[in-house]
A and B are shown apart, each in its own frame.
Chain A
Amino acid sequence: MPQQGLSWDLLADLQLLLEFHFMQNALLVGTLVAVLAGAIGYFVVLRGQSFGTHMLSQVGFPGAAAGVLVHTSPVVGLIVFCVGGALGIGWTGRGVDAGRRSESAAVGSILAFSIALGLLFFRLYAGSAQGVYGFLFGSILGVTDQDVALTAVTTLAGLAVIALIGRPLLFASVDPDAAEARGVRVRAISIAFLVLVALSVAETVQVIGTLLIFALLVTPAAAAQRLTSRPGLGLAISIGLSLLFMWGGLSIAYFSLYPVGFFVTSLAFATYLGIRLVKAAA
């Protein structure tokens, strides 16, 4: 880790930050992840699917463990499990709504089981405690060159699809009935969107972990929607905040040696709180 501490010379600090290959990888993946998460998150909040997102991330946990177990990249396992989970939700034809009693009990049961499955996979692999913590709370050390390539491909694909279906998706999210009447294929779009969420969750987990993705996928978008109701501007703010939390979290984690997940969630929490307080005062 860094040889000498921080100084007021920003250029030297930046050089220090980019000194090691693992950190270059982490920043590269972090940037890609934050852009996609900020964009997808905007629609997640708009559509009120934050609990579905939470659920997909926990379904991803055994996926990551399975990826390690069969000696491919954990990101591959994450993508397979998350997309599978998303298609499952889409197939049953219901959104995941925390408000309904029987459904939230079913969701809770599935969550506990998928985490337990992840635990079993890790035990089968005889994985270390640090490995488990990495997937739960994120790690700046584990990103390989292969992961960077995979993340770049999925991010570009995700952004391309968002650009393609962005307009009808916005329409279908704000007013599904009117969109349906105007010939938008609402159901197909919502399943496509769930798959996008799954991809984004799978990517995000590798940097800040299964349990903390809320801070990148939901909080920036929620903050953006409190600041503006214009979709284009909101989307830009959401991506910007997501990038800010990611870069800030990664840099502080690098210089302080404490977990990146803590700093990303703290930045997100503080920003959200600040915006709420300012809005309440105004």
Chain B
Amino acid sequence: MNPLSYDFMQYALLAGTFTALAAGLVGYFVVLRNEVFTSDALGHVAFTGGLGALLVNLQLLLGVFGSTIAVAVGMGSLGGRSRGRDVAIGTVFAWVLGLGALFLSLYTSAKSGASGGTAGISILFGSILGLQATQAAVTAAAGVVTSLALLAIARPLMFVSIDPDVAAARGLPTTAIVLAFLVLLGATVAEAVQAVGALLIFGLMVTPPAIAQRVTSRPFVGMLLSGALAVGFVWLGLALAFYLSYPASFFITALAFGTYVVTLAVGRLLRVTT
């Protein structure tokens, strides 16, 4: 059977490809700028935001995008991170997730039936094989826009991320660049939530760039490699999910993790032999 003869596979491929591209590109800077746990927190926000939107009869996508972008900008404007703030951030986001659990329970009891029960699961673990035509189109378009926007600011953003002081001294508008990046980060998390789910966004946003940074130290090559790896994982993951009928997000994450482990092992072997 040909996977591409099914509508749902076409939608998944369309949305998945561009989401993965955006996640891989933006993720490269997430790892470079050491904002891994910011994106974790944003995934939690997406869960609560999405369910909150469903609860007041808004579009799920609207809630997910709105909440992640707003919180990404908010966290960025609060500025520098320090050790003592781990606890404060952790406490706030545990509460945000708790709120999500409440929304989930309110939504499930308001909408008894199948759609109520699985709404939470598809936000947490992704729903790429269940996308409708319009959702797929919106997600793909968002992926294209985020990828292009990131490529447009890639050069100054790289400079600001590697050496903020020199960048500022050279007259770059560092605050504006970081703010633009945070908006893109929020949008990308929202897209990735569609594909692999709020709990698994690391599989697309952190593992591919982590592999790329092990393979090459040249920044722009690494960035493109990260995007290409993410797209490859999504394609392979979708194909496996189609034939084996287990969750696509499991295969995508497992492929990424397996490649990461192999890269680490090969790197260690090379270091031993040379």
A binding-site residues for B, Cβ under 8 Å: 45, 48, 50-51, 54, 98-102, 104-113, 115-117, 119-120, 123, 129-130, 132-133, 136-138, 209, 211-215, 218-219, 222, 258-259, 261-266, 268-269, 272, 276
Contact = CB atoms under 8 A, between A and B. Distances in A.
B253 A116 contact: yes
Closest 10 A-B residue pairs measured CB to CB?
A265-B98, A112-B202, A269-B95, A116-B253, A105-B210, A113-B257, A214-B94, A137-B101, A108-B206, A262-B102
8 contacts: A109-B202, A109-B207, A112-B203, A112-B206, A115-B253, A130-B117, A219-B90, A262-B98
Nearest to B203: A112
A215 B125 contact: no
Contacts of A119: 125, 200, 247, 249-250
Nearest to B259: A109
A119 B254 CA distance: 11
Nearest to B92: A269
B200 to A, nearest CB: 5
B203 A116 contact: yes
Contacts of A269: 91-92, 94-95, 98
A108 B202 contact: yes
Contacts of B209: 105
A106 B214 CA distance: 11
Contact of A262 (B31, B44, B99, B249): B99
Given A219-B87, A262-B101, 20 more contacts: A45-B87, A50-B87, A99-B34, A109-B203, A109-B207, A109-B257, A109-B260, A110-B257, A112-B202, A115-B253, A117-B250, A119-B125, A120-B247, A129-B118, A137-B98, A212-B94, A215-B95, A218-B90, A259-B105, A268-B91
A45 B87 CA distance: 8
Contacts of B101: 133, 136-138, 209, 212, 259, 261-262
Most buried by B among A48, A105, A130, A263: A105
Contacts, number: 170
A211 B97 contact: yes
B95 A51 contact: no
A21 B20 CA distance: 49
Contacts of B256: 109, 112-113
Contacts of B99: 262, 265-266
A268 B88 CA distance: 11
Contacts of B93: 214
Contact of B120 (A129, A212, A218, A264): A129
A153 B159 CA distance: 55
Contacts of A272: 88, 91
B254 A113 contact: yes
B102 to A, nearest CB: 4
A215 B250 contact: no
B203 A113 contact: yes
Contact of A51 (B86, B97, B247): B86
B44 to A, nearest CB: 8
A129 B121 contact: yes
B124 interface: yes
B39 to A, nearest CB: 8
Interface string B94-110: 11011101101110000
A272 B93 CA distance: 13
Contacts of B40: 108, 111
Nearest to A259: B101
Contacts of B210: 102, 105-106, 108-109
Nearest to B209: A105
Contacts of B257: 109-110, 112-113, 116
Contacts of B102: 258-259, 262
A107 B95 CA distance: 22
Contacts of A111: 40, 202
A81 to B, nearest CB: 16
A218 B87 contact: yes
A212 B98 contact: yes
B37 interface: yes
B98 A112 contact: no
Contacts of A215: 91, 94-95, 98
B220 interface: no
Interface in B157-207: 199-203, 206-207
B34 to A, nearest CB: 5
B254 A104 contact: no
Contacts of B92: 269
A158 B253 CA distance: 35
Nearest to B96: A265
B83 interface: yes
Interface in B206-265: 206-207, 209-210, 213, 246-247, 249-250, 253-254, 256-257, 260
B200 A116 contact: yes
A258 B102 CA distance: 6
